[in-house]
Structure 1
Amino acid sequence: MSYVKVEYPREQVCLITLNRPERMNAMAFDVMVPFKEALDSVSFNNDIRVVIVTGAGEGFCSGADLEDPGWLDIFNGLTVPGIARRAMKILDDVIKTIHDMHQPVIGAINGAAIGGGFCLAMATDIRLASERAYFRPAGINNGLTSAELGLSYLLPRAIGTSRAFEIMLTGRDVDALEAAELGIISRAVHPENLLEECYAIAERICGFSQLGVELSKQMLWAGVDAGSLHTHMNHEGHAQLFVRMTTQNFEEAIKARKEGRRPDYKD
């Protein structure tokens, strides 16, 4: 079974769907590796002018797959910290690829965008969400940091520092209507209309100069990037790995959740 669907629902438009609904399209490697390959392929398809990314089923993307993240040959022979570094780079590269694609990428956020799924949504250029969708920075709820995969870089630039700090430090859910008010998304729409609304935006963009659109996207991101996104994400990743590898916070968070109690962190 393919966990990533690539379709062409409109002329010059590509729809890429994370297709593992039974796991809420979690970021297992058997999802993220073909997703990255699909993005790379479409980016250099000059017949495609706009890319839309969505999720199958009830969720957009639930972030890290805590049950079965999978295994890749590039992990062979490595210790746990080495494996974590390789895994982090795979996910980082997905975010960077979206950022660097020649086409505008529209996020059709059909449901829950949790942890890495929130980060994935924020990496897209334009975001529309189903009224059923919500956003949650999960790391802070699991004894880690909520800063991962570019989120602490992208979210403050989208909604301002105070709002971003409050969301990321409390780990609370942001529903679609609030997300629209804050600027996390452009607007919330009825679930049945989500893709049609995205197609309408895509078709309008397709009516403009291909080079003009591509350069507009690049210039918009250049304006946002006061510093270096790649350097910032590397710092984020090391901070996340530091907490993960030097504490038992993550294990305590999972254990506490199963036992129905508040976590008892030791640091």
Structure 2
Amino acid sequence: MTWTPASVAPPLKDYEAKHFLLEVEGKVATVTLNRPERKNPLTFDSYSELGAMFRAAANDEDIKAFVVTGAGGNFSSGGDVFEIIGPLVEMDTAGLMRFTKLTGELVKAMRACPQPIIAAIDGVCAGAGAIVAMASDIRYGTPDSKVLFLFNKVGLAGCDMGACAILPRIIGQGRASELLYTGRALRGEEAERWGFYNRLISGEEVLAEARSFAKDLASGPTFGNAMTKRMLQMEWAMSVDEAVEAEAVAQALCMTTEDFARAYRAFAAKKTPVFEGN
């Protein structure tokens, strides 16, 4: 799978995805993993195309938020057993390293793209699918969903695609350790109680609610939203003093935007501000 370099990539609204569905409505793009007969597994091609798309999204000025979901009542069953796991068994070390770097690139691309990503999760959300959910900024789930970081079930470590770095920051070290050591299912109500899900919503409404929230974010001060996401990422490796200093610079930059001035003028006029992202 190849993708035009991000600097010259076409707008996402004009792109026809080959290994997932991509739908653009207004300022929101919805990515749907679309192999429902297999519970939407990921393949070498879909890893590559998804990562490249999120990298290209950094240069798309029209898209302000993403929703990621799965077709047919499931989010994703993870890496395809026959299209990925089977070939991996036959690879040498160099080939395996190319694969693990490819999968990690997807997570890095999701975290680096400036747009917030909201995952709408129903049914099975396992392995690499659980990682895609984890790498999103916001997660909406259903009572019937099951999240499984099941790498140890296939004889591997839980340290896959950044799980040991990101998951503890979402649900805590002890809870993340339990999931990564056992591969057990984290079901809907528990996932919300542990903080993995931001909200628990019925299967019939979860995608619509995720899109509604994405639309709300897309109508906000999107330069500020992008800065928030960037600082949330950068400050993992900072001391508190460093973080305070970095946020002073980031917020000063936000104060130079027209959206900041719009908000002031609207407040003074007792109106609701209409943000334009600049």
Q: 2:212 aligns with which of 200, 203, 212?
A: 200
Q: Does 1:8 pair with 2:20?
A: no
- 1:114-162 CA-to-partner distances (Å, cap 9, x unmatched) read 1111111100011111222111111111221122111111111111111
How many angstroms apart in 1 are the aligned matches of 2:41 and 2:132? 11
Whether the 8 Å contact between 1:30 and 1:70 is mirrored in structure 2 is no
Q: Does 1:218 pair with 2:230?
A: yes
How many angstroms apart in 2 are the aligned matches of 1:194 and 1:119? 19
How many angstroms apart in 2 are the aligned matches of 1:84 and 1:49? 35
The residue that corresponds to 2:137 in the other structure is: 125
Whether the 8 Å contact between 2:79 and 2:85 is mirrored in structure 1 is no
The residue that corresponds to 2:175 in the other structure is: 163
Letter in 1 for 2:173: T
How has the CA–CA distance of structure 1 residues 86 and 225 changed in structure 2, closer, same or farther, with 3 Å as cutoff?
Answer: same
SS, match of residue 191 in structure 1:
coil
Equivalenced residues, count: 222
Q: Does 1:145 pair with 2:157?
A: yes
How has the CA–CA distance of structure 1 residues 191 and 120 changed in structure 2, closer, same or farther, with 3 Å as cutoff?
Answer: same
How many angstroms apart in 2 are the aligned matches of 1:141 and 1:29? 21
- 1:192-229 CA-to-partner distances (Å, cap 9, x unmatched) read 111111122112212221211110111122233459xx
Query: Higher Cα Rg: structure 1 or 2?
Result: 2
SS, match of residue 8 in structure 1:
strand
- 1:179-201 CA-to-partner distances (Å, cap 9, x unmatched) read 00000110110011111111221
Q: Does 1:66 pair with 2:88?
A: no
How many angstroms apart in 2 are the aligned matches of 1:154 and 1:50? 21
How many angstroms apart in 2 are the aligned matches of 1:66 and 1:226? 39
SS, match of residue 181 in structure 1:
helix
The residue that corresponds to 1:261 in the other structure is: none
The residue that corresponds to 2:71 in the other structure is: 56
How has the CA–CA distance of structure 1 residues 67 and 98 changed in structure 2, closer, same or farther, with 3 Å as cutoff?
Answer: same
How has the CA–CA distance of structure 1 residues 161 and 203 changed in structure 2, closer, same or farther, with 3 Å as cutoff?
Answer: same
Whether the 8 Å contact between 2:150 and 2:182 is mirrored in structure 1 is no
- 1:88-129 CA-to-partner distances (Å, cap 9, x unmatched) read 111110010000001011111122111111111100011111
Letter in 1 for 2:72: G
How has the CA–CA distance of structure 1 residues 226 and 177 changed in structure 2, closer, same or farther, with 3 Å as cutoff?
Answer: farther
Question: Higher mean Cα deviation, 49-58 or 92-101?
Answer: 49-58
The residue that corresponds to 2:194 in the other structure is: 182
SS, match of residue 42 in structure 2:
coil
Whether the 8 Å contact between 1:115 and 1:146 is mirrored in structure 2 is no
The residue that corresponds to 1:94 in the other structure is: 106
The residue that corresponds to 1:37 in the other structure is: 52
Identity among equivalent positions (%) equals 30
How many angstroms apart in 1 are the aligned matches of 2:110 and 2:46? 15
Letter in 1 for 2:58: S
Name the Cα RMSD after superposition: 2.3
SS, match of residue 121 in structure 1:
helix
How many angstroms apart in 1 are the aligned matches of 2:185 and 2:57? 32
- Flag structure 1 segments of 5+ consecutive residues without an equivalent: 228-267
How many angstroms apart in 1 are the aligned matches of 2:96 and 2:220? 42
How many angstroms apart in 1 are the aligned matches of 2:85 and 2:181? 30
How many angstroms apart in 2 are the aligned matches of 1:226 and 1:197? 34
How many angstroms apart in 1 are the aligned matches of 2:85 and 2:192? 35
How many angstroms apart in 1 are the aligned matches of 2:36 and 2:137? 24
The residue that corresponds to 2:12 in the other structure is: none
How has the CA–CA distance of structure 1 residues 158 and 113 changed in structure 2, closer, same or farther, with 3 Å as cutoff?
Answer: same
Under a length normalisation based on structure 2, what TM-score does the superposition of the two structures give? 0.74
How has the CA–CA distance of structure 1 residues 225 and 18 changed in structure 2, closer, same or farther, with 3 Å as cutoff?
Answer: farther
Offset, 1:71:
11
